A and B are shown apart, each in its own frame.
Chain A
Amino acid sequence: MTVRFEIGFTRYLAPNGKLVPGLPPFAADAKTIIPLYEAMVRARVFDAKAVALWRTGRLGTFASSLGQEAVAVGAASAMQETDVLLPSFREHGAQLWRGVTPVELLLYWGGDERGSDFKGPRQDFPVCVPVASHVPHAVGVALACKLRRERRAALCILGDGATSKGDVAEALNIAGVWRLPVVFVINNNQWAISVPVSRQTAAETLAQKGIAAGIPSLQVDGNDVVAVRMAVAGALERARTGGGASLIEAITYRLADHTTADDASRYRDDADVSPHWLEEPLIRVRTFLTEAGLWSKKDEEHLLQETTAEIEAAATAYLGIPTQNVSTIFDYTFEKLPEDLVTQRQHALGRRVQSAAPPAVQS
C-alpha cells in the first residue's frame, strides 16, 4: 500500500496588504481584526522596551520576538479562556493576549520568579527554556482535559529547532495515537540561534513531522495574522470536540538576534535579513485596515502613544518592585519545608545579602 501525504499552505493577507481570495469573514470585521493589530503593536512595543531595558542593565538576557508577532497573537487569539497555553520563550504576544501583564513578563525576564505567578491565566504554563521539553507537558494537559471530558484544549507553541528533539516526536506520537485535544503550533522563524532551518532538517516542511504521528498537519504564512488565527481556531475547535490533535507550521522570520546577548551578524548577513522586513506582519495588516477604511492616521498615532505609555508605565512599575526576601529561595521548594532546608534557609538569611541590582551593563 502506498501512502501519500500533502501539506497545504495557507495565506490570506499578502505582504502588500492585498487579499488573497477566500478571506474569512472575521478579517473584515473591525471588532475582530483591529484588536489583533493592536495586540501585535503592543507585543512589538513591549519587545522593544525589554531590549532597551536589557541594554541599560535593568533586564536580564531577553529573547526578542521581533517580526513574529502574528504567530503569537494569531494563535493565542483563537484560544478560549479555559484552554491552556504552553509557550516556548518567544511568544510574548501570546502571553500578553492571554492576560499575562507586561510587569509579569518583565519580572520573569528581569530574574524574579513572581513573573511566572500569573494573576490572569492561572493554568497557563510559564516560559519554557529547555527547548521542546514543554511539548510533553502539553500532551499531559490535553490528556487531563480529555479524561475529564471537558471542552478544553492545550495550545503548545514551539520553535523550528525544537522539532529536531526527541521530546517532540514522542509527544506528537502520543497525541496522535491517543487522539488528544492539543494543537501544536511551530513558530518557524527559520533560525535556531545560528542554524538555519535548511541545516536543521532534511524534511521539506516541519509540518510533515506531524504526518509521521498521524496528525493533520498544515502550513500557514506565519506573518499573516488572519491565516494563523484561522488555522489555529479551526484546530482548537476540532480538538475540543474530540477531533484530536493538529500540527500547524507557521512560517515567519526572526528579525532580531537569538537573544540580546547574541550577535546574529556573526552567522547571517544583514543583507539577507533586510528583505524580510518587507514581509513583516504589522505593516500588511495596517495597510489592509487603512485601505479598508478601518484605520486612520489618528488611530495609528493614538495607538502608538497609548501603547508606549502603557509599556513605559509597566517598565517603571517593574523597576520599582523590590527583590523578594531571601527566604523565598527556599519557601516554595516543597509544600512544607523539611528540616534540612529550614537550617539552610536560616544560614542564607544570616548571610550578608548581595545587592538586588539588576545585571550589570555589558561592555
Chain B
Amino acid sequence: MKTFALPDLGEGLAEAEIVAWHVAEGDHVVADQPLVSVETEKAVVEVPSPQAGRIARLFGKPGDRVLVGAPLAAYEEGVHADTGTVVGELSAASPTPSPRTRQGVASPIVKATPVVRALAREHGVDLAQVTPSGTGGTVTQEDVLRAAKALPGAGGGEPLKGVRRAMALNMARAHAAVVPASLFDEADVEGWWTQGADVTLRLARAIAAGVTASPALNCWFDALRMERRVHAQIDLGVAVDSEEGLIVPVLRNVGHRDTGELRRELDRLKAMVRNRSVPLESLRGATITLSNFGTMAGQYAALIVLPPQVAILGAGRISPRNFQGNSGVGFRHVLPLSLTFDHRVVTGGEAARFLRAAAEDLQRPA
C-alpha cells in the first residue's frame, strides 16, 4: 500500500482537524480529487489526492487531529478486479452439474386421457392390462369399461386396516426374509391329558425344556448386521385368535415362573385381547412363539417365523390314536408338534434337539 501523509498546509501549522471525508475506503480517486476537508486556523481546506488509485485505507475520523506528515490515506497496489457489469452484481460461476447419463429404458406410460385414467381407477382396472383401441394406441373409455366387466367381483373392495393390515404387511416381510424349515413330531400325552387340562401351560413348559436343550432357538437374528442374540430369558409369544385377527401377547420369563402365575398372566392377557385393551409392551419382545392352533382344528402346520425370532412351535389337535408308544400299543392321546425354524440361523440338529426335548417334556405325566 502506498501511504499519503497530511501535507504541510502552510500557516506554520503542525496539525489539522478532520472535518469531513469526501471519499471512502474502496473508492477510485484521481489526482487532485479532494480527499478530505480539514480545519486549519484560518479556513477549512480540502486536501487533494496526490495520485490516481483506489483508497485502501483512511486514517482518522471527523474530529480527529492529524499531524502534518502523519498518514492520511493509503492506496491499493495492483490491479482491481473487473466487476464485469455496470448495474447489479453478476455472481461467480458455480460448477455446472454433470449431465446425467440415461438410466436405461423405462417402460412407456400407457396412453390414456385423464378422464379415462380416473375411470380405470374407479373400476379397479389396471390400464396396463387393457387392450387399447383408440388412435395411436390410446386406451379409450370403452376399453376400460369392457375390461371392468370382465373383472370378477368387480365392485368395491374392503381396504385392510389395523390388525389385518399389520398381518398382511408383517407376513409379507417375514416371507421375504426368513428361510423356513419345518420339523414335525408327536408327543404322547396320555399320561396327563384330560378334557380340562391346561395344554398351553404344558406347551410353555415344553418349550422351556426345548430351549434348555437347545438355546439357539431362543434368539433374535439381525440380518443386516449378521448378528444373533441368544436370550437367557424366554419371553413366549402366545398366538391368540381374536375377532380382529391374529394377536400375539407375550408371556414373560416362562422358564422361571410357576405355573399358577403363568396361568393367571395368560388369562389376563387373553382378557385384554378380548377387550381390545392389550398394551403395546405386551405385544413386543417375544423371543419364541407358540401357536396352539389345535384348540380349533388341524394337526400339523408349517407356521410363519416372525423376525427377529428364529422359531415357532405349533401344537395341533390332541386326538386319540392307535399309537405305538413306550408304554405299548393302544389308543393313546397324541399331541402333534410342528416346529418351523429359520434355517439361516438354526441348524437342523439344533431344531431336532429342541423338538425331542419338548416332546419328552410333554410325555411326562406331570
Binding site for B on A (CB under 8 A): 44-45, 48, 51-52, 55, 60-61, 193, 255, 257-259, 261-266, 270-271, 273-275, 277-278, 283, 290, 297, 300-301, 304-305, 308, 359-360, 362-363
Contact = CB atoms under 8 A, between A and B. Distances in A.
A305 B39 CA distance: 12
B52 to A, nearest CB: 3
Contacts of B82: 263, 266
Given A52-B24, A297-B42, 19 more contacts: A48-B24, A259-B86, A261-B85, A262-B83, A263-B83, A270-B30, A270-B31, A271-B31, A274-B30, A274-B52, A277-B33, A283-B46, A297-B39, A297-B44, A300-B19, A304-B37, A359-B88, A359-B89, A362-B89
Contact of B26 (A45, A55, A274): A55
Interface of B: 19-28, 30-34, 37, 39, 42-44, 46, 48, 52, 62, 80-83, 85-89, 92
Nearest to A44: B22
A363 B81 contact: yes
Given A61-B87, A61-B88, A304-B20, A263 B28 contact: yes
A278 B32 contact: yes
Nearest to B39: A301
18 contacts: A45-B20, A51-B27, A55-B25, A261-B85, A261-B89, A263-B28, A270-B30, A273-B33, A274-B32, A274-B33, A277-B32, A278-B32, A297-B42, A300-B44, A304-B19, A304-B37, A308-B62, A362-B83
Contact of A300 (B43, B80, B81, B87): B43
A275 B48 CA distance: 12
A258 B83 CA distance: 13
B80 A274 contact: no
A301 B63 CA distance: 11
Given A52-B24, A271-B31, A301 B19 contact: yes
Contacts of B62: 305, 308
A308 B26 CA distance: 19
Contacts of B88: 60-61, 261, 359
A264 B54 CA distance: 12
Given A259-B86, A359-B89, A265 B28 contact: yes
A277 B29 CA distance: 11
A197 B247 CA distance: 93
A51 B21 CA distance: 13
Contacts, number: 90
Nearest to B88: A61
A285 to B, nearest CB: 14
A89 B11 CA distance: 43
Contact of B80 (A263, A297, A359, A360): A263
Given A277-B34, A308-B62, A271 B52 contact: yes
Nearest to B82: A263
Contacts of A255: 30, 33
A92 to B, nearest CB: 16
Given A61-B88, A274-B30, A301-B19, A51 B43 contact: no
Contacts of A45: 20
Contacts of B85: 261
Nearest to B91: A360
Contacts of B20: 45, 304-305, 308
- 3 closest A-B pairs by beta carbon, nearest first, are A270-B52, A300-B44, A52-B24
A219 B107 CA distance: 77
Candidate in B42, B48, B89, B92 with the most chain A CB atoms within 10 angstroms: B89
Contacts of A60: 88
A359 B87 CA distance: 12
B250 to A, nearest CB: 47
Contact of A274 (B28, B31, B42): B31
A44 B37 CA distance: 13
Contact of B86 (A262, A359, A363): A262
B23 A48 contact: yes
B48 A277 contact: yes
B214 to A, nearest CB: 60
A290 B83 CA distance: 42
Nearest to B81: A363
A261 B19 contact: no
A261 B48 CA distance: 24
B83 to A, nearest CB: 5
Contacts of B42: 297
Contacts of B89: 261, 359-360, 362
A302 B27 CA distance: 25
Contact of A273 (B30, B86, B87): B30
Contacts of A290: 43
Nearest to A49: B24
Candidate in A257, A262, A274 with the most chain B CB atoms within 10 angstroms: A274
A78 B241 CA distance: 100
Contacts of A193: 86
A183 B85 CA distance: 33
A301 B32 CA distance: 21
A10 B180 CA distance: 108
A43 B80 CA distance: 28
